[in-house]
Structure 1
Amino acid sequence: MRRAKEGSVSRSKEPGTDFLQLDIGDAPARGRARWLAERLRTAIADGRLPVGSTLPASRRLAADLGVSRGVVTDAYQRLAEAGHVSGHGRGGTTVVSAPALPRPERPATHPPSSALFGQAPPGIDIFDLLRTTPARIDLSPGLPDLAAFPRAAWLRAERAVLNTLEPSAFGYSDPGGTPAVRRSIARWLALNRGIRVDADEVIIVAGVSQALSLIAHVLRQDGITGIAVEDPCSLGIRQHLNYWGMDTPPVRVDADGLCVDELSASGAQAVVLTPAHQFPTGVVLHGERRRRLAQWAEGGGLIIEDDYDAEHRYDRPPVSALRAALPEHVFYTGSISKLLAPAMRLGWLLAPTRYRDDLVLAKRNSDLGNAVLPQLVLAELLDSGELERQLRLLRRRHVHRRDVMIGAIAGQLPGTVVHGAAAGLHLTITLQPGVDDVGLAAAAFARGVKVHPLSWYGQRPLRPGVVLGYAASPPGDIAEGIAALGAALRRQRGGKPR
């Protein structure tokens, strides 16, 4: 009797907890997990739960709040899917990244969708405008999962480097890169891409964009004024080469990749391509095309291999790098932008022997070389196996988000065709002829969702489509974004005579 009476008193108490002053009475009856996740997300963003702190055990927090343990585990799972917390079991659930605080409400100053999507072709500033213009859900391609940046591993590696670093290391270094990171990247390329290269052949650059700038510079010195590009291809690459004075004649891409016969007929002396996972179509360069491309290169052509997304593969075997078979005909470039973060500005460049010294000289006169400390930290991450572990984590997360996107497309965008799902960080969908993909992207943006129209990426007319990034968005945002895109497409179709 006594126990029953005490239990009755306990249940009548208003449930709450000292932890963040949470009061479950503030939660809607049917949305407690979402409410709790939002409260925890806000606390992480404003610093009450700093990165590195540990959340209460789900069982204890559930008891404190007077809810089922499933409510708490669901909330923690939402935060994990968004990349803000990690860990299970005895180690607890740890805060690993902080979301940005919501901006205060104020009159909008960003450009309207007509300014962003009304340019044909889009200007060189279009991606800067899109990047800095806020949207509720960002499904832009090329965005990695920034919330997954391994902060704890980076700090450990940085501490290990600083504990052993000689004072002389803080001076000017080799403009081609520090020996440690060049050795580490040479090993990484041998193990992961089948490229055998000596460490002194690796040139450290500030990402693929700088690699392209340096290549364009030395090729112009060699009398080459044009670099053929895939059609469609990355608009950013095309505009970057144009800025450095290169013509960019288009070469068609079909289901087997670059049409080498068209490349030969173009008269181009060099070509830039993404053979492992073509951007944006996602096709892999077919074996027969690779043989023809090798013959073209051996006849005097130069290949610039942007090994875009090569590590991010899910449902197919690895594709060997062209550089592995054609070292004296291929400029090979890659970066950690999609493995860690674009903000690191760390990449690598391999070049045919006859161009290597000129490239290092151009790098020296550009910036005297990359910052040393990030190079050494990257070397530590590579040598310790942390980068490999990060890649495995990203693959699991990407597969889940990709599958959510494909499922949402099937439900919201029937009749579309999905391309490039076996690898990468994005999908491309093609639509029925007659759809205005630029207008569709503008309509989606008006609903708070950023996507890129496929027509932006072609120099010649393409079937209408949309390019959709999934790596940077939690599953709930992906589903909501595709639903908004589907609603915009239905409205566009409904507005036309049948």
Structure 2
Amino acid sequence: MAIQYEITGTTAKGIASSIEQGVVDGALAPGAALPPVRRLAERLGVSPGTVATTYKELRRRGIVMTHGRGGTVIAEAPSVASRRPPPVPEGVRDLAGGHPDPAFLPAELPSARLSPGLRSHRARPRLAGLEELTRAWFERDGVPSGHITFAQGALDCIARLLSVELKPGDAVAMEDPGYHHLLDLVPALGLRSVPVAVDDEGIRPDALRAALRAGVRAVVYSPRSQNPYGGWFSEGRRTALLEVLEDAPDVLVIEDDHAADIAGVPLHSLTTGGPARWAQVRTVSKHLGTDLRWGALACDRTTLARHDGRLLLTSGWVSHVLQETVTRLMTDPGTQKLVGAARTAYAERRASLLTALSARGISAYGASGMNVWVPVRDEAAVVNGLRTHGWWVAAGARFRLASAPGVRITTAALAPGEAEPLAAGLAAVLDESQATYGG
């Protein structure tokens, strides 16, 4: 059926925004046919290439579908597919999940009281005790704590930051390879991802500079425990990145320090003496428990106002019961002893696997965090090959935008003595792959 909605715009971004607005308003219903490329180009007075670029971007974001000669139509359910991992087969050692070792998490949660019904949560959304602890938490690593707030985890916080700062079609610089849930989140918000290559020291200055030239409005990165590559900012890398960002004062810099307490390495943050618009996000899920969906945000004054303004209109506040639980765990000596043990164990386990792989001539990366990234030629062949040896690792496809193939191995729960047989199994699989594909 022909559409009646009047599409406007003179650029690919403008046309895409117009079409998306029609979808949001309901004027472009699922299944509605969009005009052929040349016809729409003539109507808008633009080149066919501009319209083709528009349709390509809308297809990538799941807003439209193309059926060959059937033309381009609005998707039945405009969405972005999640990069969910396949189920773990029975009888294998699971090293694919990216989760902490349960042995280092509190076995029981402290009791917490329900808030009195008459308390004004919106007027006082943060418990004073946890706010004080949070400021000290940031200040411990040199992050300015003048403006802080809470959220329901890192993804919730980053989603809110991007949604209040950017509009559909804007570009975000993303680590590549990077955290798969963040890679899903950006297009789900109607934004475009611009890949930024990483190495052992995190995002590369040359790649960030290229992304800024491409017009990104925000950059999201991890200064340590980068997932899945394990990169960690050195002081030199921090300086180089700040020099790049000097030419982009309006870009929002979002620092995801999700594993602050178990990273095992110092923080060299871009938030200190750097960008005018910045935010650092921290969570407790990696060191206190994955069910504790609480995150802390330190940021500049403008970012705080925009984040909390949107929070007030949606969930309003973070559960005071959750806040009280986190407060008690953060001040419990036994829990903090577990966190310290985890920090040491994760570093040892990661190093053990890297050493075992290096001894067999296998390149791998993991300067910090709970994962090791191994470049491979054929991800599926390696994953399935390791399965026959009793190991289950994550194929790198869901962590990548444009980077080369690899597999992610979570070392957090790698027991003493397991690094050697795992490395031996991987070496055997790679040898088989080499024999299959040739030199």
TM-score (norm: length of structure 1): 0.63
Map of 1:46 onto structure 2:
none
Deviation at 1:212, TM superposition (A): 1.6
- Once the two structures are superposed, residues 75-97 of structure 1 have per-residue CA deviations (whole angstroms, 9 ceiling, x without a partner) of xxxxxxxxxxxxxxxxxxxxxxx
Give SS of 1:344's match.
coil
Map of 1:251 onto structure 2:
196
Map of 1:149 onto structure 2:
105
Residue of structure 1 aligned with 2:394, choices 438, 441, 452: 452
Give SS of 1:322's match.
coil
Residue of structure 1 aligned with 2:310, choices 340, 362, 368: 362
Deviation at 1:400, TM superposition (A): 3.3
400-409 vs 261-270, which deviates more?
400-409
2:410 pairs with 1:465: no
- Once the two structures are superposed, residues 406-464 of structure 1 have per-residue CA deviations (whole angstroms, 9 ceiling, x without a partner) of 344246xx22122223x211112234xxx2123212332455422123454332242x4
For residues 160-171 of structure 1, the aligned pairs below 5 Å read 162=113, 167=116
2:296 pairs with 1:343: no
2:157 pairs with 1:211: yes
Determine if contact 2:262/2:340 at 8 Å carries over to the other structure. no
Determine if contact 1:146/1:340 at 8 Å carries over to the other structure. no
Change in CA separation of 1:226 and 1:174 when aligned onto 2, cut-off 3 Å = farther
Change in CA separation of 1:272 and 1:151 when aligned onto 2, cut-off 3 Å = same
For residues 226-375 of structure 1, the aligned pairs below 5 Å read 226-254=171-199, 256=201, 257-259=203-205, 260-285=208-233, 286-297=237-248, 299-314=249-264, 318-326=266-274, 328-375=276-323
1:245 and 1:176 map into 2 onto residues whose CA distance is 30
Deviation at 1:327, TM superposition (A): 6.8
Residue of structure 2 aligned with 1:404, choices 352, 363, 382: 352
**What code does the residue aligned with 1:300 have?**
D
- Once the two structures are superposed, residues 226-273 of structure 1 have per-residue CA deviations (whole angstroms, 9 ceiling, x without a partner) of 211122222221111111111111123345532332133222121111
Change in CA separation of 1:264 and 1:244 when aligned onto 2, cut-off 3 Å = closer
1:394 and 1:470 map into 2 onto residues whose CA distance is 12
Q: How many residue pairs were aligned?
A: 354
Deviation at 1:334, TM superposition (A): 1.2
2:274 and 2:321 map into 1 onto residues whose CA distance is 33
Give SS of 1:283's match.
coil
Determine if contact 1:227/1:268 at 8 Å carries over to the other structure. yes
Deviation at 1:394, TM superposition (A): 0.6
Deviation at 1:146, TM superposition (A): 2.1
Change in CA separation of 1:350 and 1:489 when aligned onto 2, cut-off 3 Å = same
Deviation at 1:403, TM superposition (A): 3.7
2:216 and 2:176 map into 1 onto residues whose CA distance is 14
- Once the two structures are superposed, residues 366-424 of structure 1 have per-residue CA deviations (whole angstroms, 9 ceiling, x without a partner) of 3232222221121123244555433211122223322432344246xx22122223x21
Determine if contact 2:370/2:410 at 8 Å carries over to the other structure. yes
- Structure 1 or 2, whichever has the larger Rg, is 1
Determine if contact 2:170/2:216 at 8 Å carries over to the other structure. no
Change in CA separation of 1:175 and 1:339 when aligned onto 2, cut-off 3 Å = farther
**What code does the residue aligned with 1:303 have?**
V
Deviation at 1:190, TM superposition (A): 0.9
Deviation at 1:224, TM superposition (A): 7.3
**Larger fraction in helix:** 1
- Once the two structures are superposed, residues 332-355 of structure 1 have per-residue CA deviations (whole angstroms, 9 ceiling, x without a partner) of 111011111222111112333223
Name the Cα RMSD after superposition.
Answer: 3.0
- Once the two structures are superposed, residues 21-57 of structure 1 have per-residue CA deviations (whole angstroms, 9 ceiling, x without a partner) of xxxxxxxxxxxxxxxxxxxxxxxxxxxxxxxxxxxxx
Give SS of 2:369's match.
coil
Give SS of 2:297's match.
strand
Change in CA separation of 1:427 and 1:379 when aligned onto 2, cut-off 3 Å = same
2:332 and 2:273 map into 1 onto residues whose CA distance is 29
Determine if contact 2:177/2:403 at 8 Å carries over to the other structure. no
Map of 1:178 onto structure 2:
127
Give SS of 1:419's match.
coil
2:347 and 2:193 map into 1 onto residues whose CA distance is 34
Map of 1:127 onto structure 2:
84
Give SS of 1:127's match.
coil
Determine if contact 2:150/2:318 at 8 Å carries over to the other structure. yes
Deviation at 1:142, TM superposition (A): 2.6
Residue of structure 1 aligned with 2:137, choices 188, 192, 196: 188
Determine if contact 1:309/1:424 at 8 Å carries over to the other structure. yes
Structure 1 residue ranges (4+ consecutive) displaced by more than 6 angstroms after TM superposition: none
2:177 and 2:422 map into 1 onto residues whose CA distance is 24
Determine if contact 1:307/1:321 at 8 Å carries over to the other structure. no
Determine if contact 2:83/2:180 at 8 Å carries over to the other structure. no
- Once the two structures are superposed, residues 45-77 of structure 1 have per-residue CA deviations (whole angstroms, 9 ceiling, x without a partner) of xxxxxxxxxxxxxxxxxxxxxxxxxxxxxxxxx
Alignment identity in percent? 20
1:444 and 1:174 map into 2 onto residues whose CA distance is 54
